[in-house]
A and B are shown apart, each in its own frame.
Chain A
Amino acid sequence: MLFELNNFIYSYGRNNRFQLGPLSLTLESDSITALVGSNGSGKTTLIRILLNELLQYGGDYTIDSVPVNDMSGSVPHTYGIGYAPEEPVLDERLSGYEIAYIVKEIHNIKKQEFDIFMARFRQLLQIGSWFEKSPCREYSQGMRRKVSLLAAFLGAYNYLIIDEPTNGLDPVAVFGVKKLLLSYKEQGKGVLVSSHILDFVEKIAQNVIILKNGTVAFAGKVQELLGSHPGMQLDEIYYNIFVNIPENSGFSL
């Protein structure tokens, strides 16, 4: 699976106050790509564009060389893309298990496969009896995040897009998410993770896209970035990029 954005521009707000792009990006489905950037740099906007939720843009956006504008139906369900938004949106009256079961039915996942995945997910993310018993409206922030991630994983038979996956999660669950993401990637599937936690990104991602004021400040391999700044951690490099590099410095994929 291949997402391609060429000379892409999207703007919104009064007098087009915010502009994402122009940018050119390629996302492949065999690696974990981290999307980092300061608040308001356009991470969530980029994700919403990839999911075809925002339509009035300039330039080209294709998935597997098919222009997204020509498609009918929802992009996530047509291409098997699982999505967990920054603020989990859940069916408030249903329990977590009921949501998981319905997602399983929507994607025709076999019962055995579902049971195995659920057991692993429950173990890694420490999911308790609340999952079956209580409706989502009673869940804490962390519980909601877990259910949102679960629904995204179940729907992601090709690609996974998650926005701030560790928000509200305890350390055990963060470790569980890491393990799940890595094993998902080992199946040859791709992940786009938007996160502010650079330690998390450094440990799981092979590629990184750094957004700054709507433009790409860096896009490439994490190892390449670390290699070009010997002896520095990702957070230090990130700081340098944001403090020293001027806007539209010409970095592109």
Chain B
Amino acid sequence: MNLESAQNLLIKRIIGFNPSFSQSVLRGAGAGVLFFGIFEAVSMINPNAPRIPVPTLLVIAVFVLQMLLFLKISRILRFPRTEDFLFIIRISYRQRKKIAVRALLESQKAILPFIASCTLVSVILEIFIYKERELSNLAGVPAGLLLFTYFFPRLGASVLKSNLIRPVSRDSQQSGVQNSQGIRIFTVLSRFFFCVSNAAGKLAPISIRPYVTRNMLYLFRSDPFLFPFFTLVAPVLLILVLVLIGDRELLFVDFFTVLAFFVLSFYYATYFQEASVWFRECPYYDFSHKRMRNAQIFTSAILSIPYTVIFLLATNTALLSLAGMARTVTFLCALGTIILINCRISINPKRKDSDVGMDLALFIGVSIGVFVPLFGWLFPLAITGVINLLGWGSVCKNKQC
């Protein structure tokens, strides 16, 4: 089997069977008729049934689909071991990147004609059957949809090509066939990361400011695409969840906010763990256990600012009472305790997989407090005590700090 056919086989494994252009067009036309029938025509017969214009429906569907497809394809770069097709593990980062880019563009070849014909058919049906005359509905949404379908995979391919998806550690080995280019980012992006990190560092006390800046830079440099992406997307998703919940009195608002930050903290903790080892090793840093811990706590605190703001905005009127004040204190204590849990994860170099259970137990303890009126803050405080009793298992244990 030559290289080309091996690559084709891998692409087929990742994105499945790719239909030809005419097949995509025909299927799109069929789907257009079907969707129009289900989501629009029914409302003509039964006025109580909701009408969802097919282009609008497709906007949501395509957005979710493209996101999932990108994440699935980018997995072969970041997590090749999770692929059930073992051959992927053995090929180099550069080859996997090439395959991922091709897979993304191949998928676009099938999706674009499908979406175009589906949209076209549904728009024609809307004009002739639904008597739709609104230009924005007929042209605006479909045009936006087609542009998104065209540009998103290309943008994704650029992200993959530009080494923004962090390779696995084995890819970075200095010898053997797995050697990769590593993450070399554009100068502009590098400057942007530097400015943001520097600005974040300014929020910290002077004694640990350089280390907070360094932690932020480390996060950006470790995962230049996914770190900013998750950090931006998580608050947006949280806002959507809070909008769906609607009732600001409901304590689920607090719970989901705390949960979102906890999940993201878990993601940050891996990088903090790595960063703490280098902090100790590099001779030009003034290492001390206390300084390292404080720097991590402040970095996490800075990353928690969006969640505090979202919480305060989502619950503002509900906070003007004694119960409201207690609720705010509980929320802030919960965030603080999650920061400590995160810190405990990241400064322990001998951490075992089974420790995740302990971290989850600590989080459950914190989140129970969120549902307890007036005295909920006692729970995070108790968990803080437990964290101190469990010990920090620091990177500088038994060494001079």
Contacts and interface: CB of A to CB of B under 8 A. Distances in A.
B288 interface: yes
Contacts of B222: 93
What size tier do the contact residues of chain B reach?
20 to 34
B213 A105 contact: yes
Contact of B210 (A77, A92, A105, A134): A105
Given A94-B214, A95-B190, A106-B286, A89 B184 contact: no
A138 B284 contact: no
B97 interface: no
Contact of A133 (B172, B185, B279, B281): B185
Interface of B: 172, 181-185, 187, 190, 194, 201, 209-211, 213-214, 217-218, 221-222, 274-275, 278-279, 281-288, 400
A191 interface: no
Interface in A100-155: 101-103, 105-106, 129, 132-135, 137-138, 151-152, 154-155
A137 B209 contact: no
A24 to B, nearest CB: 25
A90 interface: yes
Among A82, A84, A99, residue most surrounded by chain B Cβ atoms (within 10 Å):
A99
A98 B194 CA distance: 8
Contact of A94 (B181, B187, B217, B281): B217
A151 B283 CA distance: 9
Minimum-distance CB pairs A-B, first 4: A105-B210, A151-B284, A77-B286, A93-B221
Contacts of B287: 74
A91 B182 contact: no
A89 B282 CA distance: 5
A231 interface: no
Contacts of B281: 89
A83 interface: yes
B218 A55 contact: no
A106 B182 contact: no
A99 B218 CA distance: 11
A155 B278 CA distance: 17
Nearest to A91: B278
Contacts of B183: 135
Given A55-B400, A95-B190, A98-B194, A134 B184 contact: yes
Nearest to A73: B288
Given A73-B288, A135-B221, A92 B185 contact: no
A85 interface: yes
A76 interface: yes
A252 B256 CA distance: 71
Contacts of B275: 93
Contacts of B172: 137
Interface in A12-61: 51, 55
B148 to A, nearest CB: 32
